[in-house]
Structure 1
């Protein structure tokens, strides 16, 4: 009834997907922690209207691998960089951090 090769391929795909998800979650957690360590401003960003307004746009940015860039997201990037001037996070890292706020 079931082809063993197909079942093995499905299991391997599931394992690879779980590892990729784990990597993304670890990356997101590290970015969040680095933002929190910077003068404790992560909690203020969590309540910031400019940053929260860009959450959906951040998802589109990440999903499109940076191809979709909106005005709201650019404003959030600029706002975060003004708030955290010592931050050296990339746009992708900032977008992922916005998603987990």
Structure 2
């Protein structure tokens, strides 16, 4: 009789813990998926400039521009600034801010 109770208790315990574990995994997967969706949406908004060839090519010119406090303005930087302003017409940033943004990408 004690063996039967022990076996019954063990079976119930295994079922209870597996249900909790699977619920935990399902909840974790759901939350993880939601967070990834949010993260992807945010990165999609900024990746267009980060992966842009014109902007990437202007990194060294942007570094020279920042280091010279605006005295050195390379051709690639000028092209990137024009390109960024065409893509985002309502952007209220000066050349130095855009050059720093190019460097931070």
Normalising by structure 2, we get a TM-score of 0.57
User: What whole-Å deviation, never above 9, does each CA across 1:33-67 have from its counterpart, x for those lacking one?
Assistant: xxxx8x92x21100000000000110000000000
2:98 to 82, 90, 94: 94
Q: Which has the larger radius of gyration?
A: 2
1:75 to 79, 93, 101: 79
Please report how far the alpha carbon of residue 99 of structure 1 lies from its aligned counterpart in structure 2 after TM superposition.
0.1
Extract unaligned runs of 5+ from structure 2: 1-41
Residue-pair matches, total: 63
Q: Which runs of 4+ in 1 moved over 6 A?
A: none
Extract unaligned runs of 5+ from structure 1: 1-36
By percentage of residues, which structure has more helix?
2
Coordinate RMSD, CA, aligned = 1.5
If asked which structure has higher relative contact order (CA below 8 Å, sep 6+), I would say 1
Q: Which residue of 2 aligns with 1:23?
A: none
Q: Which residue of 2 aligns with 1:61?
A: 65
Once residues 53 and 94 of structure 2 are traced to their aligned partners in structure 1, the CA distance between those partners, rounded to angstroms, is: 21
Please report how far the alpha carbon of residue 74 of structure 1 lies from its aligned counterpart in structure 2 after TM superposition.
0.2
Once residues 74 and 67 of structure 2 are traced to their aligned partners in structure 1, the CA distance between those partners, rounded to angstroms, is: 13
Local SS of the residue matching 1:99: helix
